[in-house]
């Protein structure tokens, strides 16, 4: 299954490392990533893939809670199908 993850927060060292490490620890593969810094704000969009027989989006979101808290970020994930449907309107 594929999903889209967004990460936003005040820019600081270690954001990409924290997010990618947490994803790797639960078996999520990053297929594509786009990130930018606007003034002092960091934004990143990731296209990720995972085995939906072993993992679901709610579990991934829950696994990102410590990263959100430790890095002072907002992280959201949704299925690629839902993301595409909403953005095609």
Who's near 22: CB < 8 A, 6+ residues apart? 63, 64, 66, 67
Q: Are 41 and 8 in contact (CB under 8 A)?
A: yes
pLDDT digits (tens, 9 = 90+) for 18-64: 999 999 999 999 999 999 999 999 999 999 999 999 999 999 999 99
| Per-residue pLDDT band at 79 (split at 50, 70, 90) | confident
């Amino acid at each position: 299954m594929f999903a889209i993850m967004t990460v936003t927060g005040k820019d600081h060292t270690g954001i990409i490392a924290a997010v990618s490490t947490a994803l790797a620890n639960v078996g999520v593969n990053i297929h594509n990533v786009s990130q930018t810094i606007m003034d002092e704000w960091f934004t990143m969009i990731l296209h990720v893939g995972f085995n939906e027989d072993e993992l679901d989006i709610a579990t991934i979101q829950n696994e990102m809670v410590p990263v959100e808290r430790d890095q002072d970020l907002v992280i959201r994930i949704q299925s690629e199908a839902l993301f595409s449907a909403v953005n095609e309107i």
